[in-house]
Structure 1
Amino acid sequence: MAQPRVLLVEDDALLRRFVRMALEELPIELLECESVAGALQILGTAPVQLILTDLMLPGASGVDLLQQLQQSPCLRGQAKVVVLSAGLTQDTRQQLAPLGVWRLLEKPVSVGLLEQCVQEAVQGDPPAPIPPQPAPADLERTNAIDQYFAGDTELFQLYRGSCLLQLPHDIATGDQAVEDADLPALRRVAHSLKTVLLTLGAPQLSAQARDLEQLCHSAAPGPAHSGWLVLRVALAHWIDVQKTGL
C-alpha cells in the first residue's frame, strides 16, 4: 500500500529541514516546495492526504494558496490543511476561518506536537509516548530541547548543526537587503530568524529578530537598518560561540 503523501509548503530551508527531521520516522511520503506555484504543480500531479503550509511565502501567500484550493476543490481533494506559521494573530485566524483549515500550529512548534498532528491527519493514530532525555547544562538550550524537540538532544544537535551552516547565508541575505533598501526582503530574513533562533534556545536574539520584523513592517528604513546591524553582530558572535560546542 502506498504511503500517505504530505505536502510541505515552506520557503525557509532550515524550517523545511526541521519538519523533515521531525517526521522522518513516520510512514509518509513528504513532498516539499517553496511557493504556491510549486504547491499547485505538485497537487496537479497526484493527490495528497495533508498540506502543511506557511503563510508568509515569496510571491503569493499561504492565504492565496488556500483561496485557490477553495476555488478549485479538485486540486485539494480530500487533503486536510494545516497552517504552520509564526504570524497567527487574531485577525489572521479570522481570515483563515472560512478557508477550510483543519488545524493551526504556531511556530516554533515542538517535534511531538508536529508528529501528533500529522499522525492524526493521515492515520488517526495516537502519538507514541515520548521518552525522557537527559538535559544539557544550558538552561535556555534545555528549555528549547524540551519544548520543541520532545527532549531529544540528538535531534536538536543535528538541527543546530544544519542551522549553523545556513545562518551565515541568512546574514549575507540580510546584508544584501539592507544594501538594496529592500525592506520586504529584510523582513523575511527577520521573520525566519525569529522562529529559528527561538527553536535553538536563543530567545533574546529571537526577540531582536521579532523587533526587526516589526520595524520592517512599519516601513521605517533607518531604524530597520540599524536594527539589522545590531542583530547581525550579535548573531555572528552567537554563531562563533555555538561552533565551539560542535
Structure 2
Amino acid sequence: MSRPRVLLVDDDPSIRRFVALALEDLDIELVEAGSVAQARERLADGESFALIVTDLMMPGETGLDLLQHLADHPAQRAGARLAVFSAGLNAAMQARLAGFDVWRQLSKPISVLELEDCVREAVGAGGAAAAAAPAQPGPLGAGQEAAIARHFAGDRGLFLAYRASCVAQFPADVSAGDDALARDDAPALRRLAHSLKSVLATLGDADAGALARTLEDAAARGDLAGGAPLWQSLRDHLSSQR
C-alpha cells in the first residue's frame, strides 16, 4: 500500500529542510517544490496528494496564485486538504483563504509538534521506525535551548541537523542580500528578510530575528538607505555562523 503523499511548496530551502526533518519519522512521502511553477507541473502531471502545504510569500507566483490555480482546476487538487504558512494574517487575508477552502493556517516559526499534528490529522499517518539518536554535544545557549523546547519538541538532534542546513544556506543568503541592495531591489530584500526572520526565530536567535524583522519593515517601505546598515549588521551575523 502506497504511503500518503504531502506536497510542500516553499521557495526557502531552509524551511523545506525543516519540514523534511520534522516529518521524517512519519509514514508519508514528502514531495518538495521550490516554486508555484514546479508545483503546477507536478499537479499537471497527474500526481495526487492528500495534503498540500504552501508558503504565501514567494517571488513571482505566490501561494495565493497556487490556491487560485487549484480552485480553477479542482481535478488537480483531487480533494487534497490545503494548508498555508504565514507570519501573521489580517482579517482580509483570512477571508481570502477561507474562500479558497484553506483547511489550516500554520504560523511561522512553526513547531515540530504543530507541523506533525497537522500532517497526522490530514493524512492519518503513523510513525516510522525510529532511528538511533545521534551523539549530541554539550550545552547550547539559552536561546537555543528554548528553541529546542518550543519548536523542536525537545529533540536536540533535530535542532542541530536543521541548524547545520541553515548555516550551509547562509552564504547564499548573504549573496542574495548583497545582490538585492546592488540592484536597489527592495521587494527582493524584503522577501529575504522575511525568510531570515522566521529561520532565525526558529533557531532561537532572537536578536538577529528582530534585526531581520526591522530590515523587512524598512524594505517594505522602500527605504533602502535605512535598510543598508541593517543588512550589513545582519550580513555580518550570518557570515559569523559556523
CA distance in 2, matches of 1:207, 1:219: 19
Change (3 A) 1:124 1:169: closer
Cα deviation 1:161-182 (Å, max 9, x = unaligned): 1111111210111011111111
Identity %: 48
SS at match of 1:27: coil
Q: Distance in 1 between matches of 2:74 and 2:84?
A: 18
- Structure 1 partner of 2:96: 95
1:24-39 matched pairs, under 5 angstroms? 24-39=24-39
Structure 1 contact 194–210 (Cα < 8 Å) conserved: yes
- How many aligned positions are there? 233
Q: 1:51 aligned to 2:52?
A: yes
Please list the CA deviations of residues 90-128 of structure 1 after superposition, one character each: whole Å capped at 9, or x if unmatched.
Answer: 3322221211000000011111110111010001779xx
Q: Which amino acid aligns with 2:119?
A: V
Q: What is residue 227 of structure 2 aligned with on the other side?
A: 224
Is the contact between residue 10 and residue 33 of structure 1 (CA under 8 Å) also seen in structure 2?
A: yes
Gaps of 5+ in 2: 128-135
**Compared CA separation, residues 90 and 142, structure 1 to 2 (3 A):** farther
**Alpha-carbon distance, 1:85 to partner:** 2.0
Q: Distance in 1 between matches of 2:162 and 2:73?
A: 37
1:187–1:48 Cα change, 3 Å:
same
Matches within 5 A, 1:38-77: 38-44=38-44, 45-77=46-78
Residue 190 of structure 2 is matched in structure 1 by 187
User: 1 CA distance for matches of 2:125 and 2:5?
Assistant: 15
Write the letter of the residue equivalent to 2:32: E
Q: In structure 2, do the counterparts of structure 1 residues 163 and 49 end up closer, same or farther at CA, with 3 Å as the change threshold?
A: same
1:163 partner letter? C
TM-score scaled by length of structure 2: 0.91
What is the identity, as a one-letter code, of the residue corresponding to 1:38?
A: Q
Counterpart-to-counterpart distance in 2, 1:171 and 1:199: 19
Equivalence for 2:23: 23
Distance 1:202 1:86 in 2: 17
Structure with more relative contact order (C-alpha pairs < 8 Å, separation 6 or more): 2
Partner of 1:198: 201
Asked if structure 1 preserves the Cα contact closer than 8 Å seen for 2:26 and 2:125, the reply is no
Mean Cα displacement is larger for which, 157-166 or 80-89? 80-89
Matched-pair contact (CA < 8 Å) for 1:197–1:205: yes
Q: Secondary structure at the match of 1:150?
A: coil
In structure 2, how many angstroms separate the alpha carbons of the residues matched to 1:124 and 1:140? 32
The residue aligned with 1:85 is 86
Contact 2:211-2:234 at 8 Å conserved across structures: yes
2:164 is matched with which residue?
A: 161
Which residue of the partner structure matches residue 172 of structure 1?
A: 175
TM-score (norm 1): 0.89
Q: Give the counterpart letter for 1:84 in structure 2.
A: F
Q: Distance in 1 between matches of 2:95 and 2:115?
A: 23
Cα drift, residue 206 of structure 1: 0.4
Q: Give 1:214 shift.
A: 1.0
